[in-house]
Amino acid sequence: MKFQSNMLLAAMALAPAVVSAASKIQVEVRYSNEMIDVGNLELFAETWQKIYSTAGNGRSILSDTSYTTNASSCGSWDSKGDRDVRVKVNGQWGKIPDLGPNDSRDALVSTLSKVLDEVSKGTGYNVFSNCYGLTWQEAIPKWPGPHACGGANPTVRPECMCDLGTAQCETHSWGHKVPSSIKANLYRDGALLADTLTIDFSANAVAKDEGCGMAGTVTKALATFIPGVGELFAAGIEISCA
């Protein structure tokens, strides 16, 4: 698979003085420039949490899961979702000399998750669902609890993002776009190790060529990020995108 942009999270050096510079471990993260609109998919739950909750995650993970998400700024109460999203997670890791039993896994997962969060952060948009009053004839219920927009005392905004100003929506969430593929590798002394983690996203709507513009922002945001146990890894980032 071709990755059009790449991120090298370097200088993740083993801290003990007995470890020479030649033994430094680097995490390289590459992500594609093609951005996928995944609606209000819960990124943390379907990446980080999924990995750590999967049986056998001490050695590897392989999952392929489909979801129905919402991506509408005014989703009708009778909508079952308007976006089909597929998430594939494929990773493997093992014991690396001088590291703890799970350090390689944790470095891959935390680094990839951080990059994914930073890349998607700037693409966030409002998603409102369970909306009523989308036509003049449609009644609006009396909400049993707080509601997001429209009507009296909304929690998010005074008016909904619907065609009719009198509409009301019960729930609010955030939609995002993510790279179609993001992959983390480990290197030692320039040699590629077997430890790797890849997450692929696909959906029924695609927005292309938007990822590279965020490379500089991601570099700044992760300048001090340490992708593992602080005593074992040092921070440092170099990012390029094409």
**Joined tokens for residue 175:** 């939609």
Instruction: Write a three-state SS string for the chain.
Output: CCCCEEEEEEEECCCCCCCCHHHCEEEEEEECCCEEEEECCCHHHHHHHHHHHCCCCCCEEEEEEEEEECCCCCCECCCCCCEEEEEEEEEECCCCCCCCCCHHHHHHHHHHHHHHHHHHHCCCEEEEEEEECCCCCCCCCCCCCCCCECCCCCCCECCCCCCCCCCEEEEEEEEEEEECEEEEEEEECCEEEEEEEEEEEEECCEECCCCHHHHHHHHHHCCCCCCCCCCCCCCCCEEEEC
Indicate whether 164 belongs to any domain. Answer: yes
Distance CA 79, CA 129 (A): 8
* pTM (two decimals): 0.77
How long a stretch of residues is the chain? 242
Number of domains in the chain: 1
pLDDT at 68: 93
Indicate whether 16 belongs to any domain. Answer: no
Indicate whether 140 belongs to any domain. Answer: yes
138: Cα within 13 Å, side-chain hemisphere:
14
pLDDT at 226: 54
Indicate whether 3 belongs to any domain. Answer: no
Indicate whether 19 belongs to any domain. Answer: no
Residue tagged 């493997």 (tokens): 92
Indicate whether 163 belongs to any domain. Answer: yes
Q: pLDDT confidence of 9, banded at 50, 70, 90?
A: very low
**Residue type at 214 in one-letter notation:** M
C-alpha pair distances (Å), 88 with each of 53, 111, 162, 202, 222: 15, 18, 34, 9, 25
- Give the pLDDT confidence of 152-211 residue by residue, as tens digits: 999 999 999 999 999 999 999 999 999 999 999 998 888 888 999 999 999 985 444 555
- Give the pLDDT confidence of 128-147 residue by residue, as tens digits: 999 999 999 999 999 999 99
Give the domain range for residue 199.
Answer: 24-239
Over the chain, what is the mean pLDDT?
82
Indicate whether 95 belongs to any domain. Answer: yes
Indicate whether 46 belongs to any domain. Answer: yes
> Which has more confidence, 94 or 173?
173
**Joined tokens for residue 224:** 């001090």
- Give the pLDDT confidence of 32-64 residue by residue, as tens digits: 999 999 999 999 999 999 999 999 999 999 999
Mean pLDDT highest for which of 188-192, 211-215, 221-225?
188-192
